[in-house]
């Protein structure tokens, strides 16, 4: 098999090829490491590449495989290369949080998603680029190369999981982990033509440390196919002793849900988000094309959207406390994050913001008593150019961010599951995506619907060489 074909083969197929002895873990990891060495300087998708560790594990896995009978059980993703976002600790590897001053900050533990990923047999290639402390929806932290969109390198791959999205889209890993505190998985998926899942609150554990933003953030997968994303979500999911919130294990699995037949769903859609307004024309078109597709698939479509009034101010108040919660000194933060740190609110104001978010979230979730699924734009306009907002004031940057990512944060607030899917290409050759949002804990329905949509209208895979 050609190395380019291998690099863009779905992770589930790679796992099967390894089990069938069609490719070895060592051959596979070397394909990706060669591509990273050659192409990452153009993309800035990785901060840290752990080539020696990855090759050592791949060699051990190849030797282990030689002693296995085909009838014996292997971990589901034995030997498949993966990338981890550099907000997520991995034992023995630097975790910079997008901060150049922390380039030598070696993690002493694995976050829960990492040990689950390791237990599934994945081989970690390295840590992917993120915006500094994950606070921005574009990935241009000072001291690092900006992460670039492989569809058009003048533009951002989004953020804060921009490096993970760029790496998957460009064939620099088979699949990747990201995290979403206001669209940080869904936005990069939309910018890079990928599938990105923000799971329900409590689906994926934050052990051993715990979530620190009142449940608005969640770890999730970035993949080229719905089945791959569903299978990685299966790996990531599960309760860890002491978690503050949790959900039961899915039955059937999320991967099995991707092949489940769906009955007729009642689906709402909107091309606007109140009070921000209408999305750009290309994002509206992405939604309307999706509406036609879903109608052709036999579902009932109806205009409608929850009322998000009263959400922006308290959500922003909680989000901006991330700078203070990070514990990183102001002296090493970029100007935008220093400004957010200076705007940090009191404990009482924080609790009032949490209270207000919960009030609005009840209204949002109540909308889904009538509908199974909601279709919205992922972002309000196409990806921005690298450095496009670099000369703006912090106030102007914040206003632009709020307007761009407006469709995403409401479902971080409510804790509902959402899946970003690619829809169309804009005039610059950049993907524009939509998101489907489901009822609380209803990832299975969304995954089944996303798989149905993917089968009916496949999105092209980028041939990045």
Measure the CA–CA gap between 204 and 219, rounded to whole angstroms. 6
Kind of pairing between the strands at 272-273 and 431-438:
unpaired
Could you tell me which of 73, 9, 452, 3 has the C-alpha nearest to residue 228?
A: 9
Return the C-alpha torsion angle 311, 316, 317, 322, nearest 10. 140
> φ, ψ for residue 56 (rounded to 5)?
-65, -45
Which of 17, 112, 135, 160 is labelled catalytic? 160
Q: Is 200 a catalytic residue?
A: no
Residue 73 and residue 103: Cα distance in Å, rounded? 39
State yes or no: is 270 an active-site residue. Answer: no
Q: Which residues pair with 376 in a beta bridge?
A: 435
- Whether the bond into 160 is cis, omega within 30 of 0: yes
Strand 175-180 relative to strand 81-85: parallel, antiparallel, unpaired? parallel
Cβ–Cβ < 8 Å for 19, 37: no
Q: d(Cα 60, Cα 63) in Å, to the nearest integer? A: 5
Catalytic, 160? Answer: yes
Contacts by 325-329, CB closer than 8 A, 24 or more apart: 325/212, 325/213, 326/97, 326/133, 328/97, 328/99, 328/101, 328/102, 328/133
Catalytic residue among 184, 205, 272, 361: 184
Pure H helices in 79-194: 112-119, 162-169, 186-192
Which residue spans within 55-141 are E strands per DSSP? 81-85, 123-128
Cis ω before 150 (30° cut-off from 0): no
Asked if residue 433 lies in contact with residue 421, where contact means CB atoms within 8 angstroms, the answer is: yes
Q: Which two tokens stand for residue 88?
A: 């997520």
φ, ψ (nearest 5 deg) of residue 385 = -75, 155
Closest CA relative to residue 45, chosen from 136, 125, 135: 125
Residue 235 CB burial class (10 angstroms; 0-12, 13-18, ≥19): buried
CA distance 205 to 242: 10
3-state SS, 180-228, equals ECCCCCHHHHHHHCCEEEECCCCCECCCCCCCCCCCCCEEEEEECCHHH
- Looking at the annotation, which residues are catalytic? 85, 160, 184
């Amino acid at each position: 098999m050609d190395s380019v074909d291998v690099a863009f083969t779905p992770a589930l197929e790679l796992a099967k090829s390894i089990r069938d002895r069609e490719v070895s873990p060592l051959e596979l990891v070397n394909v990706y490491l060669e591509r990273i060495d050659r192409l990452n300087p153009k993309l800035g998708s990785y901060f840290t590449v752990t080539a020696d560790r990855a090759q050592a594990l791949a060699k051990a896995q190849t030797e282990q495989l030689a002693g296995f009978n085909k009838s014996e059980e292997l971990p589901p993703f034995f030997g498949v290369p993966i990338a981890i976002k550099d907000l997520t600790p991995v034992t023995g590897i630097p975790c910079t949080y997008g901060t150049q001053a922390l380039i030598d900050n070696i993690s002493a533990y694995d976050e829960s998603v990492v040990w689950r990923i390791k237990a599934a047999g994945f081989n970690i290639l390295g840590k992917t680029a993120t915006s500094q402390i994950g606070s921005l929806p574009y990935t241009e932290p000072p001291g690092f190369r900006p992460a670039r969109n492989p569809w058009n390198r003048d533009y951002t791959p989004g953020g804060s999981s921009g490096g993970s999205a760029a790496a998957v889209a460009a064939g620099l890993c088979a699949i990747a982990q990201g995290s979403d505190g206001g669209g940080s998985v869904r936005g990069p998926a939309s910018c890079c033509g990928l599938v990105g899942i923000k799971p329900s609150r409590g689906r994926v554990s934050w052990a051993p440390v715990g979530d620190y933003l009142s449940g608005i953030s969640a770890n999730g997968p970035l993949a080229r196919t719905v089945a791959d994303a569903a299978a990685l979500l299966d790996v990531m999911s599960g309760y860890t002793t002491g978690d503050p919130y949790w959900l039961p294990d899915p039955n059937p699995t999320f991967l099995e849900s991707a092949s489940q037949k769906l009955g007729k769903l009642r689906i709402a859609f909107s091309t606007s988000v109140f009070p921000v307004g209408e999305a750009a024309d290309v994002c509206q078109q992405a939604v309307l094309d999706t509406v036609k597709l879903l109608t052709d698939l036999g579902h009932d479509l109806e205009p409608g959207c929850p009322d998000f009034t009263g959400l922006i101010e308290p959500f922003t108040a909680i989000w901006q406390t991330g700078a203070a919660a990070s514990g990183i000194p102001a002296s090493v933060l970029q100007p935008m994050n220093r400004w957010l740190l200076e705007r940090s609110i009191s404990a009482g104001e924080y609790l009032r913001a949490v209270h207000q978010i919960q009030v609005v979230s009840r209204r949002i979730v109540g909308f889904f008593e009538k509908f199974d699924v909601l279709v919205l734009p992922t972002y309000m306009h196409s990806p921005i150019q690298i450095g496009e907002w670099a000369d703006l004031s912090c106030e102007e940057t914040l206003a632009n961010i709020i307007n761009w990512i407006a469709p995403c944060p409401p479902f971080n607030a409510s804790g509902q599951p959402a899946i970003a899917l690619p829809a169309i290409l804009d005039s610059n050759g950049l993907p524009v995506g939509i998101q489907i949002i489901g009822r609380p804990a209803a990832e299975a329905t969304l995954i089944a619907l996303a798989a149905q949509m993917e089968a009916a209208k496949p999105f092209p895979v980028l041939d990045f060489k």
